[in-house]
Structure 1
Amino acid sequence: MASSDRDASATLAKLNLPQKIKLLSGLGWWHTEPVHEAGVQSMRFSDGPNGVRGTRFFNGVPSSCFPASTGLGSSFDVELAHKVGEALGDECRAKSTHVLLAPTVNIQRSPLGGRGFESFSEDPLLNGAVASAYINGLQSKGVSATIKHFVANDQEFERMSISSEVSERALREIYLRPFQLAVKDANPWAIMTAYNRVNGTHVSEDKRLLEDVLRKEWGFKGMVMSDWIGVYSTTGSIKAGLDLEMPGPSVMRGKALERALIAQKVLPRDIDERAAKVLGLLDHARASGIPFNGPEGSVDTPELRQLLRTAAADSVVLLKNEKGLLPLTNQTKKIAVIGPNAKPAMTSGGGSARLLSTYTVSPLQGVLAAAEEVGAEVKYTVGATSHKYLPLLDPLIRQSDGQPGAFMEFWNQPPPGFMKTDPDFNLTPPAPAWSTPTLGSNCIMIDGVDETKVDPVCWIRYSTKFTPDEDGDWAIGVNVTGAGNVFLDGKIIIDLSTNPPPVSLFTGSLPPDTRTVVNGLKAGQAYDLEIRIDNSTYAPLSPFPCWGVLRAGAIRDVNPEAAIEEAVAFAKESDVAILVIGLNHDWETEGDDRANMELPGLTNRLVSEVLSANPNTVVVNQSGTPVGIPWVNEVATLLQAFYGGNELGNGLADVLFGKVNPSGKLPLTFPKRLEDNPSYPSFGNKGQEAGKIHYNEGIFVGYRSYEIRKLDPLFPFGFGLSYSQFEYSDLEVSPISSSGEFAVSFKIRNTGKIEGREVAQVYVSDPQSSLPRALKELRGFTKVQLQPGESKSVKVSLDKYALSFYDERDGQWVAEQGSFGVLVGSSSADIRLQGETKLEKTFTWRGL
């Protein structure tokens, strides 16, 4: 018995049955229940995966935001992932956090998945390898990883009820495989169950998945927790092996579990098994030295900023550079920066992954800094807007004392004249029950409010100084849960109290914001902005404790035609145009799948007209997952930037100006059209059938499907260019051992003129298989750094899984006797070397 198991058993022996039951559900949103009389402390959790938010959605302590997972996955760099994990561990320690709710390794079945940006890849090996490095880095700091969402949680539509109908073979080879790799190679201390059902059973109460597969087959020793509000049974979840219900207070345990015990639907030993796992995680928390109920702080050092910048640059994928326009040189004197994603910093996707960054660098800021170094002039214009909601007010607001943000006041009774311009309120408002400054204009008040002073039903005033950064007419918009009014310099400009908008019960899927246009605002002039909210129609209906949501945004109102004309004029008079387009955290977010792959608004028209005006245009697309690119044949220079975190602007500029030679490779296939995607049409609200989604593509996910159908994608899996060129040679494949191990060796030479890094990918084919298989599957990769003219020998070691498939008839993995093809390439479609090796005798196994 390991020492942690002995410690957990010793603590368990001190607890009575009610205390054990108490351990099995959370304390509020981010803590576990303590049992002080037995020395059991309260552990702290925090959302990830690209940062550490801490204990508050509302008024949280700022944090470092790393590139979204598809960006980190595009680096194909396990050493970088390990460093990112370490940095996240340091941030957790600064926030007194014991458990990070990350990483995410769900498979991107479709480009439309709302949380697709949270996972590393469509390929289970790349997904699991990057996740393992991330986990090892994080846990080296004493912080528990929580790999999620176990399993087949691959869409947002009806995510709490939908049944993912998937074959056992596809489940094993594709969807469970990244979790299995992480358990084997990184030993995560916790796993989070998915909201959905798998083949009819909710995962949080699926004994086969949680006990038979996870614990017995794979030997997982850690704790299993639910996703938030993801427990739907009392007896079922306990018997299945779900240890912890989150968040608290409990809905399915507590008194309900006591009653189940009386009825002997569960037994005391069932409670002991679950409580022991919670205490086992507590042992890790104790060993970490991280304080319990400690303060929350931020980390901001030169070393961390450099890591953020490196990660941002390494997440960029160069897709086209046909004219050799990049890298930009000091010969470039006039640069036009254009596009809806240029001025704001789109650091991450939306939902639980989003956080308040310690600082941000936008693409425009990054280009301005780089251009100054080479003596180039930069002009900016938006060209076209692409927002779903108006961009947040954050960079344009300050409190009355000059500090960033706004001031909020809460009343437990409706103040006289609160909703109108009544002097009774404006001149002598009553003292609020509680007040606080806030840094942002997206206030999700499920936490961070002093509940000892503020009732669930309350009246809220948000006050700030709004200072436009451009002259002109401005669109201002708000979204509130409940009734509300917006005042500018004391006058109502938006009335949401006469006919309040419909109440949205879920904060991740707000209805469209209500907007107005205010004419003739002046850049640099401060205007008094107030938003007043009456949440009395919302709070009683909320499915969890929440004081409501306030989201406010603004943007200079532009005539669409005039905006494109200005962009074209800027492009024509410049040596180079840098056009930054894409999606943002409103379009790609937890809670909503995308309706289509299209870029929003007039983006496509803007791109085509700017390209016509200046062929020396660099198009940068920023999105977490693939988008439609109808102008792909018109553009000569194209980059995919994903969501780059704090340093996204500097990382992008480093690639554009040649400080960093791009080395990213696409971790997921970009299709020419949505209909080509293997999950089409069995995805989302258009694909569901009586509460089910059929995974009709089986094992043929991503590039596996495009190749078997002989269907060319827009850009293949693993594709990415460099400013260097690389030559492959001297392939050698060792014989396969009786247990399935073999090695692939080859040489890579940098034939270019500058230092570069190449991601060499090793694929294996099984042309003699007794069951249908993909034409080839990624089984290994390595990233090699080379000086100009330098050559290195590379060795990639592979194991039995490189040969195998899962035979659901026998419930086991099979490596069949025969010859296997070994293919080494720069992408799934660019194979440079081919060889083969032979397995002399078939063998099978279960478990790891």
Structure 2
Amino acid sequence: MSPIKTTSYKQLDIDFLIEELTLSEKISLLAGKDFWHTVPIPRLGIPSIRVSDGPNGVRGTKFFNSIPSNCFPCGTGLAATFNKELLVEAGELMGKEAKMKGASVILGPTCNIVRSPLGGRSFESYSEDPLLSGIAASSIVKGIQNEKVVACLKHFVCNDQEDERKAVDTLLTDRAFREIYLKPFQIAIRDVNPKALMTSYNKINGEHVSQNKAILQDILRKEFKYDGAVMSDWFGTYSTKEALDAGLNLEMPGPTRFRQLVQAVHAVQANQISEEVIDDNVRYVLKLVNEGLKAEIPDDVIESANEDPAAGELLRKVGDESIVLLKNENNILPLSKTAIKGQEKIAVIGPNAKAAQDSGGGSASLAARYKITPWEGIKNKIQEGNNTVSLQYTLGAFLDRNLPDVGDVLIDEEGEKGINARFYKHPPGYKGDRLLLANYKLNTSKVFLSDFKSDKLETNDILFYADFTGTFIPDETAEYEFGASCLGTAQVFVDDVLIADNKTKQTKGDAFFLGMGTREERGSVQLEKGKSYNVRVEFGTAPTYTLEGGPVEAGGVYFGIRIKSTPEVEIKKAVELSKSVDKVIVVAGLSKEWESEGFDRPDMDIPGFTNQLIEEIVKVNPNVIVVNQSGSPVALPWLDKVPALVHAWYGGNELGNTIADVLFGDYNPSGKLSMTFPKRIQDSPSYINFGSTNGQVWYGEDVFVGYRYFEKVDLKPLFPFGYGLSYTTFELDNLVVESFDGSIDIQLQVTNTGKVAGAEVVQIYIEQENPSINRPVKELKDFGKINLAPGESGLIKISISIKEATSYWNGLKKQWQSDKDDYKVLVGTSSDDIKLEGKFSTSKTFNWVGV
């Protein structure tokens, strides 16, 4: 789909248009035209503009066979850089890529709170801390809008779990709402004014946010003075009159469900909905169109991938800075690319070693333009040396919920990696011409057909068939599993023999992020190393589904291949290999199958047998380095037994290179945890109040989220907020704190006292000495990052407004309040490592509202 043609990028005269538009035309503007576009009014020169998913990168308008994109590190990884300027650069790259996809609006960033390690979309947000979340979001928005592309900040507000996300009623105090959950949005609106805002799915204290007048009008419009457009999350509109009255300007996606022409016109004519309300909502939609026109996207743009090497360089820099070194006993890291004496042997083991965990799942995921696995990144580093270091690999443990994607395993008809896909009107065995609809080469075996099109199909015809074929050449002689899950029906054949049947026997499962598909059905067959086998998957779309409650779209199919083994066999192989090498790198963690939009994690454990794998390896080799990839905390029961732990998040395209950069010291790690890692899920402040109970969730921890809770109850976490090690050391001194003209000016000196260059993140926390209410021990109020050569010193200067540094929400007065009191300025390198302390005082108590 292409945007409606425009003849000019000239700004629309909104007042004139509101006078000229008919009531029917006005109503048509208040919902999307389709999944990705606004409605045009050609009669008056109002064009359609395009939006695109964008938290991890800009996908474009297609799920099926989409144009590849550059994938950024996940949100919690971006925040871990603590680098405002770098995040602006990342936002600028997102803006550039949006224009290459013809999108003038990016649906992101996401700045909800990481309230619990179990939140399905925690990876997509930034932090447990509202200030870090707000600054990270502001930096990304600033970069996007520097490119004249609209940033749509989401999800406003309290969209902090996936359990019953469209129905759950979030119950919380006004103070927690203001100080924790609204605060990131307030900061972004104050500092960079995002031109669009997306409402959340959930209710707050009994009312869906998308129709909550107190939130959208009283707070957002009147108090925050927000003047951008407000759109729903996809299918997150629940009413007609209430949502319009509240100021939900744009229902997405289209075509509308709640703003149908006949019904809406009737409501206006019956004085149920005021025409002034219609005009007000239209005004904001037209403002959004005007903002979109500023991107000057050409008419009939053809989506394209950004293959500029500079994009990969920036992604690698962002990924390098996101990685957090959590443990490094006896300086086992960094590793050397060359052995000093003889030859050094390194084993690379683990389910994520040869998998590219670029992002979490759901709408944040996309078809990455390329991916570097940790194995590839490490192997490339070793090849830079003098070949005195050798690498060996074994799997060690399985991670996949379903059999892995084989888009880069199968060989297509041209002898290259890939899958041939042929779509037909009629099923296999049809007596006659099956009528070929389309022929594609795919790079993935996870096929979602919601936007498949063919001019040989009637409009809205979703019944068709596909054959997916490729050649499989096994690496070793063994029994192999083949399997498929689907929205429709599917059968997997190897050399024309049926191996896996998801057609004649289907069981309800959770395939696809909508959770509407079948369970994966598997079968196995013995195969010989080096021999070629023809793999064919025969698929029928949703109308062929044999279970109740089938989807209304074309559906899709996921299929995969894996050597058949047991955990015991794989662990035994890993242990034997570990005995024969000098060091072991275990690459573990989660994947988008376990951390995704659509569901929350059941616990903090790494699934499967990864923990047992590490426990057994450390028994035979003490030199174990674990690289964990996850967007939020996981349990680490073996932590005391391994000398090194690196947290690498979901790292985008360059994930393998960035992991290798840190492991081998080509980049000195400078990332800091954007959330607290508890020792166990029971220690999480939201533990007893997470997930929906009879349609409700109570935010019982109130303002004590993350480190605020751990410090208040004096509970030691596994790793504190803001924590991260380096290969060098830093000294902080010469703190100067001065307050005047409504601000606190802070200055200190940072010195690199080690032997290698590095960067340190200096964190500024404020503590009230005599609080009149129950407050956190201290709260993050700003931070700065400085790069220093060995022996070099530099100054960090930070200015913070007194009202932001000292205020809390007074629920009785319904205003922010700053107390007359003495305050401590606590300067450190993590929330529990305070190096310097200063003081300032305020001379009066005052209240305020706004941003």
Name the TM tier (shorter chain): over 0.9
Contact 1:44 1:293 in 2 (8 A): no
| Correspondence 1:586 to 2:588 | no
**Where do 1:740-751 residues align within 5 Å?**
741-751=743-753
SS in 2 for 1:372: helix
Q: Distance in 2 between matches of 1:506 and 1:337?
A: 31
Q: Distance in 2 between matches of 1:265 and 1:569?
A: 75
> Which one of 232, 235, 238 corresponds to residue 229 of structure 1?
235
Structure-2 residue corresponding to 1:752 = 754
The code of the aligned residue for 1:93 comes to K
Contact 2:474 2:527 in 1 (8 A): no
**TM-score when scaled to structure 2?**
0.95
Q: Distance in 2 between matches of 1:281 and 1:409?
A: 40
Superposed displacement of residue 709, structure 1? 0.7
Contact 1:114 1:593 in 2 (8 A): yes
Q: Distance in 1 between matches of 2:616 and 2:722?
A: 30
> Which one of 347, 357, 360 corresponds to residue 368 of structure 2?
357
CA offsets 1:654-681 (integer angstroms, 9 cap, x no match)? 0011100000000000000000000011
Contact 1:25 1:244 in 2 (8 A): yes
Q: CA separation of 1:456/1:405 partners in 2, compared to 1, >3 Å: closer, same or farther?
A: farther
**Where do 1:28-43 residues align within 5 Å?**
28-43=34-49
| Correspondence 1:345 to 2:356 | yes
The range that moved more, 326-335 or 345-354, is 326-335
Contact 1:405 1:464 in 2 (8 A): no
The code of the aligned residue for 2:826 comes to L
Superposed displacement of residue 304, structure 1? 1.0
Q: Distance in 2 between matches of 1:828 and 1:169?
A: 22
* Structure 2 residue ranges without an equivalent (≥5): 1-8
> Which one of 805, 827, 833 corresponds to residue 808 of structure 2?
805
Structure-1 residue corresponding to 2:539 = 532
> Which one of 162, 169, 175 corresponds to residue 169 of structure 1?
175
**Where do 1:203-242 residues align within 5 Å?**
203-242=209-248
Structure-2 residue corresponding to 1:770 = 772
Q: Distance in 2 between matches of 1:400 and 1:458?
A: 27
> Which one of 140, 143, 164 corresponds to residue 158 of structure 1?
164
Structure-2 residue corresponding to 1:82 = 88
Q: Distance in 2 between matches of 1:521 and 1:456?
A: 42
Contact 2:11 2:293 in 1 (8 A): no
> Which one of 134, 139, 142 corresponds to residue 136 of structure 1?
142
The code of the aligned residue for 2:663 comes to L
Q: Distance in 2 between matches of 1:500 and 1:390?
A: 17
Structure-2 residue corresponding to 1:794 = 796
> Which one of 821, 834, 839 corresponds to residue 837 of structure 2?
834
| Correspondence 1:845 to 2:848 | yes
Q: Distance in 1 between matches of 2:550 and 2:501?
A: 27
**Where do 1:171-186 residues align within 5 Å?**
171-186=177-192
SS in 2 for 1:821: strand
Q: Distance in 2 between matches of 1:663 and 1:12?
A: 52
Structure-2 residue corresponding to 1:693 = 697
Q: Distance in 1 between matches of 2:531 and 2:740?
A: 70
Q: How many residues align?
A: 832
Superposed displacement of residue 711, structure 1? 0.6
Structure-2 residue corresponding to 1:683 = 690
Q: Distance in 2 between matches of 1:453 and 1:595?
A: 42
The range that moved more, 518-527 or 197-206, is 518-527
CA offsets 1:727-779 (integer angstroms, 9 cap, x no match)? 11111111243x3x111111111111000000000000113121110000000
Superposed displacement of residue 504, structure 1? 6.2
The code of the aligned residue for 1:470 comes to D
The code of the aligned residue for 2:434 comes to P
| Correspondence 1:311 to 2:324 | no
CA offsets 1:578-620 (integer angstroms, 9 cap, x no match)? 1000000000000010000011111011011112221111100
| Correspondence 1:91 to 2:97 | yes
Superposed displacement of residue 410, structure 1? 3.7
SS in 2 for 1:26: coil
Q: Distance in 1 between matches of 2:648 and 2:737?
A: 36
Contact 2:712 2:777 in 1 (8 A): yes
Superposed displacement of residue 511, structure 1? 4.9
Q: Distance in 2 between matches of 1:456 and 1:507?
A: 23
CA offsets 1:606-645 (integer angstroms, 9 cap, x no match)? 0111122211111001001000000111111001110000
Structure-2 residue corresponding to 1:370 = 381
Q: Distance in 1 between matches of 2:414 and 2:648?
A: 37
Structure-2 residue corresponding to 1:465 = 470
| Correspondence 1:625 to 2:632 | yes
The code of the aligned residue for 1:627 comes to V
Structure-2 residue corresponding to 1:126 = 132
Q: Distance in 1 between matches of 2:599 and 2:398?
A: 21
Q: Distance in 2 between matches of 1:63 and 1:505?
A: 24
**TM-score when scaled to structure 1?**
0.95
Structure-1 residue corresponding to 2:403 = 390
Structure-2 residue corresponding to 1:518 = 525
Q: CA separation of 1:487/1:242 partners in 2, compared to 1, >3 Å: closer, same or farther?
A: same
CA offsets 1:370-392 (integer angstroms, 9 cap, x no match)? 01112221111101111112111
Q: CA separation of 1:774/1:478 partners in 2, compared to 1, >3 Å: closer, same or farther?
A: same
Contact 2:324 2:647 in 1 (8 A): yes
Q: CA separation of 1:120/1:523 partners in 2, compared to 1, >3 Å: closer, same or farther?
A: farther
Superposed displacement of residue 538, structure 1? 4.7
Q: Distance in 2 between matches of 1:756 and 1:701?
A: 31
Q: Distance in 2 between matches of 1:5 and 1:199?
A: 40
Contact 1:396 1:469 in 2 (8 A): no
The range that moved more, 540-549 or 167-176, is 540-549
SS in 1 for 2:701: coil
Superposed displacement of residue 508, structure 1? 3.3
The range that moved more, 832-841 or 535-544, is 535-544
Contact 1:824 1:832 in 2 (8 A): yes
**Where do 1:251-262 residues align within 5 Å?**
251-255=257-261, 256-262=263-269
SS in 2 for 1:323: helix
Q: Distance in 2 between matches of 1:437 and 1:259?
A: 49
| Correspondence 1:302 to 2:306 | no
Q: CA separation of 1:761/1:804 partners in 2, compared to 1, >3 Å: closer, same or farther?
A: same
Structure-2 residue corresponding to 1:112 = 118
Contact 1:538 1:548 in 2 (8 A): no
SS in 2 for 1:536: helix
> Which one of 702, 707, 711 corresponds to residue 711 of structure 2?
707
Q: CA separation of 1:451/1:599 partners in 2, compared to 1, >3 Å: closer, same or farther?
A: farther
CA offsets 1:120-166 (integer angstroms, 9 cap, x no match)? 11000001101101000011111100100000000000000001101
Contact 2:757 2:787 in 1 (8 A): yes
Q: Distance in 1 between matches of 2:128 and 2:120?
A: 14
SS in 1 for 2:189: helix
Superposed displacement of residue 576, structure 1? 1.5
Contact 1:666 1:716 in 2 (8 A): yes
Q: Distance in 1 between matches of 2:589 and 2:534?
A: 31
The code of the aligned residue for 2:276 comes to R
* Structure 1 residue ranges without an equivalent (≥5): none
Superposed displacement of residue 292, structure 1? 4.6
Contact 1:503 1:538 in 2 (8 A): no
Q: CA separation of 1:539/1:736 partners in 2, compared to 1, >3 Å: closer, same or farther?
A: farther
Contact 1:4 1:280 in 2 (8 A): no
Contact 1:406 1:462 in 2 (8 A): no
Structure-2 residue corresponding to 1:729 = 733
Q: CA separation of 1:384/1:6 partners in 2, compared to 1, >3 Å: closer, same or farther?
A: closer
Task: Report the identity percentage.
Answer: 42
Superposed displacement of residue 270, structure 1? 0.9
